[in-house]
Amino acid sequence: MSESTARQSYHHGDLRHALLEAGIELAREGGPDAVVLREATRRVGVSPNAAYRHFADRDALLSAVSDASLALLATRIDALFDAIPAGSAELVARAQLRAVGTGYVAFALDEPGLFRTAFVAENLDRSSEASKSGRSGRSPLVLLTAALDEFVASGIMPPARRPQAEFLAWSSVHGFALLLIDGPLRALPREQADAVTQRVIDMVEAGFTAP
Amino acid sequence: MSESTARQSYHHGDLRHALLEAGIELAREGGPDAVVLREATRRVGVSPNAAYRHFADRDALLSAVSDASLALLATRIDALFDAIPAGSAELVARAQLRAVGTGYVAFALDEPGLFRTAFVAENLDRSSEASKSGRSGRSPLVLLTAALDEFVASGIMPPARRPQAEFLAWSSVHGFALLLIDGPLRALPREQADAVTQRVIDMVEAGFTAP
DNA sequence: TGTACATCAGTGAACGCGCGTTCACTGATGTAC
DNA sequence: TGTACATCAGTGAACGCGCGTTCACTGATGTAC
Q: How far is B97 from B119, CA to CA, in rounded Å?
A: 20
Topology of the domain covering B66-209: Tetracycline Repressor; domain 2 (1.10.357)
Tell me, what's the pLDDT at B9? 72
Tell me, what's the pLDDT at B3? 40
Give the Å distances, CA to CA, from A189 to A131, A180, A193, A200, B119: 33, 10, 6, 16, 22
**Amino acid identity at A62:** L
Min Cα–Cα distance to chain A from B210, Å? 6
Q: By a Cβ cutoff of 8 Å, what residues of chain B touch chain A?
A: 119, 121, 124-125, 127-129, 161, 164, 167-168, 170-179, 182-186, 196, 199-200, 202-211
Closest Cβ–Cβ partner in B125, B173, B204 for A186:
B125
Q: Specify which residue's alpha carbon is closest to the C1' of nucleotide D29.
A: A11
Tell me, what's the pLDDT at A208? 98
Arithmetic mean of pLDDT, A40-69: 97
The string over B4-42, giving b where at least 16 C-beta atoms fall within 10 Å of a residue's C-beta and e elsewhere, is eeeeeeeebeebeebbbbbbbbbbbebbbebbbbebbbe
pLDDT, tens only, B109-144: 999 999 999 999 665 555 555 554 444 568 999 999
Arithmetic mean of pLDDT, A35-42: 98
Topology of the domain covering B1-55: Arc Repressor Mutant, subunit A (1.10.10)
Tell me, what's the pLDDT at B123? 58
Q: Which bases of strand C have any atom within 7 Å of the beta carbon of a protein residue?
A: 9-14, 18-24, 27-29
Nearest to A108 by CA among A180, A169, A187: A180
CB B204 within 8 A of CB A207: yes
CA angle A68–A146–A142, rounded 5-degree value: 20
- Identical fold, B1-55 and B66-209: no
CB A46 within 8 A of CB A8: no
The residue extents of the domains of chain A are 1-55, 66-209
Q: How confident is the model at residue A10 (pLDDT cuts 50, 70, 90)?
A: confident
pLDDT, tens only, A147-191: 999 999 999 999 999 999 999 999 999 999 999 999 999 999 999
Asked if residue B13 keeps its beta carbon closer than 7 A to nucleic acid strand C, the reply is no
Tell me, what's the pLDDT at B88? 97
Q: How confident is the model at residue A5 (pLDDT cuts 50, 70, 90)?
A: very low
Q: Is the pLDDT of residue A93 over 50?
A: yes
Asked if residue A48 keeps its beta carbon closer than 7 A to nucleic acid strand D, the reply is yes
Arithmetic mean of pLDDT, A5-22: 82
Tell me, what's the pLDDT at A47? 97
CA B166 to C1' D17 (Å) is: 44
CA angle B52–B57–B59, rounded 5-degree value: 145
Chain B nearest-CA residue for A169 = B172
Asked if residue B48 keeps its beta carbon closer than 7 A to nucleic acid strand D, the reply is yes
pLDDT above 90 coverage of chain A, percent: 84
Chain A nearest-CA residue for B125 = A184
pLDDT means per 10 residues, chain B with 211 residues, are 52 91 98 98 97 97 96 97 97 98 98 96 57 64 97 98 98 98 95 98 98 90
Give the Å distances, CA to CA, from B172 to A70, A208, B7: 21, 14, 47
Contacts of residue B131 in chain A, CB cutoff 8 Å?
A: none
- Residue B133: CB atoms within 10 A of its CB come to 11
pLDDT, tens only, B197-211: 999 999 999 999 999
Asked if residue B29 keeps its beta carbon closer than 7 A to nucleic acid strand C, the reply is no
